[in-house]
């Protein structure tokens, strides 16, 4: 079962357990391989952050009806489907320290099961019974796909700007966080101000999480992260640590990083790591994540004081200190 961020999960522990059971129930299929692959990715140790956001956001607005459980579960299905697709596109072999589904089954099977989970999420969305939620989450799915395509077109492109990089991480990561908190606000009957605040909270939290993800690729430990250090460089992905290092380093250093991005692989990993550290690129990336985390916390002032609002604030703070 997934790892837990215990103090934060504790305030919605019963609802969270119900969402886990709902996720397992909704994985059922008449095709055994669908269930095998779905369970492989769903049970692979994720923190269930997006469904957690739905539960905390709803309870922060005083919501207690069961629709949030269904919304939380379908958000996790949307996320999980993207993981299956991403691992195929990225040709990944590890996720959360375990072999990816596409290393155990065929790429074709994983793509199709990802499609199944996406489709099941929309089936569940209909049961939530809100056209507004349908509108929000349909837009999310389009933006997620666009984000992945943007990232793919930028692979091995060292000319990407920081602004373009931010556009990519908003689309491929932050948009689903944003959709989770905004949809939760809609179901809970939030005021326009509260809905806007929770939408901003989700977006900024998602940006902070992705920035730290990209930082950890050059600073983390493989055993803790559950993936290999330097995976982004191996895939030729120009993330913020590399973009900033190219801006701040010497022409020779920038040239080395540009060549490493174009070539992919890990032949230049040690040299790139040295440049990234010496130019302050890791500190800069962490500072940008801290700015996003602070914005997320500030947006919560539109919500009434409660243990759930405190948990949302703690989650934004936790985003900065995580190691995986």
Please report the pLDDT score of residue 277 as a whole number: 95
Please report the pLDDT score of residue 102 as a whole number: 66
Phi, psi of 95 (to 5 degrees): -140, 125
- Provide the residue count of the chain: 324
* pLDDT per residue of the chain (324 residues) written in tens, 0 to 9: 344 446 888 999 999 999 988 988 888 888 888 878 777 777 765 678 999 999 999 999 999 888 899 999 999 999 988 887 777 666 666 555 566 766 677 777 777 888 888 899 999 999 999 999 999 999 999 999 999 999 989 999 999 999 999 999 999 999 999 999 999 999 999 999 999 999 999 999 999 999 999 999 998 664 344 456 788 899 899 999 999 999 999 999 999 999 999 998 889 999 999 999 999 999 999 999 999 999 999 999 999 999 999 999 999 999 998 876
Dihedral (CA of 274, 276, 279, 281) sign: negative
DSSP string, 155-219: TT-TT--HHHHHHHHIIIIIHHHHHHHHHHHHHTT--HHHHHHHHHHHHHHHHHHHHHHHHHHHH
Predicted TM-score (pTM) of this structure = 0.91
């Amino acid at each position: 079962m997934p790892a837990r961020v215990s103090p934060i999960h504790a305030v919605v522990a019963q609802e969270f357990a119900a969402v886990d059971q709902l996720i397992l129930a909704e994985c059922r299929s008449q095709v055994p391989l669908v269930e095998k692959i779905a369970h492989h990715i769903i049970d692979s140790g994720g923190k269930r952050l997006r469904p957690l956001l739905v539960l905390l956001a709803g309870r922060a607005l005083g919501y207690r009806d069961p629709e949030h459980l269904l919304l939380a579960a379908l958000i996790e299905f949307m996320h999980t489907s993207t993981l299956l697709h991403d691992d195929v596109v990225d040709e990944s072999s590890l996720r959360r320290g375990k072999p990816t589904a596409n290393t155990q089954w065929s790429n074709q099977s994983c793509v199709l099961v990802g499609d199944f989970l996406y489709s099941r999420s929309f089936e569940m969305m209909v049961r939530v019974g809100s056209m507004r939620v349908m509108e929000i989450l349909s837009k999310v799915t389009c933006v997620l796909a666009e984000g992945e395509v943007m990232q793919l077109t930028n692979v091995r492109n060292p000319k990407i700007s920081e602004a373009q990089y931010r556009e990519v991480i908003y689309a491929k990561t932050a948009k689903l966080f944003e959709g989770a908190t905004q949809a939760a606000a809609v179901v809970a009957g939030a005021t326009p101000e509260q809905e806007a605040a929770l939408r901003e909270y989700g977006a900024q939290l998602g940006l902070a999480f992705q920035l730290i993800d990209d930082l950890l690729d050059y600073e983390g430990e493989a055993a803790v992260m559950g993936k290999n250090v330097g995976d982004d460089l191996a895939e030729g992905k120009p993330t913020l640590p590399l973009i900033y290092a190219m801006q701040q380093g010497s022409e020779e250093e920038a040239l080395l990083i540009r060549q490493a991005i174009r070539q992919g692989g890990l032949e230049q990993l040690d040299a790139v790591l040295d440049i990234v550290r010496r130019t302050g690129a890791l500190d800069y990336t962490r500072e940008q994540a801290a700015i996003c985390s602070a914005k997320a916390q500030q947006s919560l002032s539109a919500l009434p004081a409660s243990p759930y609002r405190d948990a949302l604030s703690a989650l934004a703070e936790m985003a900065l200190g995580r190691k995986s």
